[in-house]
A and B are shown apart, each in its own frame.
Chain A
Amino acid sequence: MSIFNALNTSASALTAQRLRMDTVSSNIANADTTRATMNENGEYEPYRRKLVSLEAKTPDFQSFLQKASGKSSSPGQGVRVSEISEDQEPFKLVYNPNHPDADQNGYVQLPNVDPLEEMVDLMSATRSYEANVTSVNATKSMLLKALEIGK
């Protein structure tokens, strides 16, 4: 058991929440991108909203060994991003015949990004980030206090 376990745990969460914020930024930035990827027919497709999936980091071999030998149980090792997936919701259709990407009927496919949803996600990520910073500070002050033992 390392004394920095708690700090590593919080650090993994800071990384994950930062990635969530980056993904939200990317989604908002591309809210109007009609030419993001090219499909197999050689036609441009709009940007698809990216989603971050989180999963709990499974305990490492050492903690399983400790558990099996009945010595002690250890908490998890933090969080990690399992994948960045694409939202498969249909694209928004907007009537705009003057747009260069409009189809024969004058409709343009726009990304399936909802700015409101993104802002809510951003707030959630920010709050979680702040909570983890608080946790880092608490751990830090405890470790510094431990160094004072016997002074």
Chain B
Amino acid sequence: MSFFGNTISNLEKSLDYASLKNQTISNNIANADTPGYKAQQVAFKDVLNSEMNNGFQTKRTDARHIDFGSDTAQQSFRIVSNTNTTYNHNGNNVDIDKEMTELAKNQIYYQGLVDRLNGKFSSLQTVIKGGR
């Protein structure tokens, strides 16, 4: 629906991503002392890129044909772990400095997204109220 535009669904996807990323970072920090644990990361071929796929239209000769674009948008983020490195003699590769930085970054990113979302809603409200 064009009333809300793409912004809100973009922000929604980004919030999903930030939330999953926070869970992953928390899990990495929790396992900072676990022997053999490998740090996980949220694979993210750019949330915006995948959102741009939303606009990817396939030529449909019938309205009942499945639309590719909307299908790929449903795909969620993958979690991968890097098993090649080892920072610790017990096989663990959690870089605690990196994780703490990512945690702070992600927190600010999330708050920014929520602020943007609220800004979007309040401008819609302004429009609905006719600027009054």
Contact = CB atoms under 8 A, between A and B. Distances in A.
Note whether A and B form a binding pair: yes
Contact of A54 (B35, B40, B96, B103): B35
B44 to A, nearest CB: 12
A9 B23 contact: yes
B111 A145 contact: yes
Contacts of B78: 73
Interface string A26-52: 000000000000000000000000000
Interface in B60-85: 76-79
A10 B29 contact: yes
A10 B30 contact: yes
Contacts of B103: 134-135, 138
Contacts of A83: none
Contact of B27 (A71, A75, A151): A75
Interface residues of A, number: 41
A124 interface: yes
Interface of B: 15, 18-20, 22-27, 29-35, 37, 40, 76-79, 96, 99-100, 103-104, 106-107, 110-111, 114, 117-118, 121
A128 to B, nearest CB: 6
Nearest to B24: A75
Given A73-B79, A75-B23, A142-B19, A56 B34 contact: yes
- The dominant DSSP class at the A interface is helix
Nearest to B12: A149
A75 B20 contact: yes
A71 B34 CA distance: 28
Interface string A73-89: 11111110000000000
Contact of A12 (B15, B22, B30, B121): B30
Interface of A: 3, 5-7, 9-10, 12-13, 16-17, 20, 53-56, 71-79, 124-125, 128, 131-132, 134-135, 138-139, 141-142, 145-146, 148-151
Given A13-B31, A55-B34, A79-B30, A138 B107 contact: yes
Contacts of A3: 19
A146 B118 CA distance: 10
14 contacts: A20-B33, A73-B76, A76-B27, A76-B40, A78-B27, A128-B33, A131-B99, A132-B30, A135-B103, A139-B22, A142-B107, A146-B15, A146-B114, A149-B114
A131 to B, nearest CB: 5
A138 B37 CA distance: 23
Given A54-B35, A56-B34, A134-B103, A142 B29 contact: no
Given A135-B29, A151-B118, A141 B34 contact: no
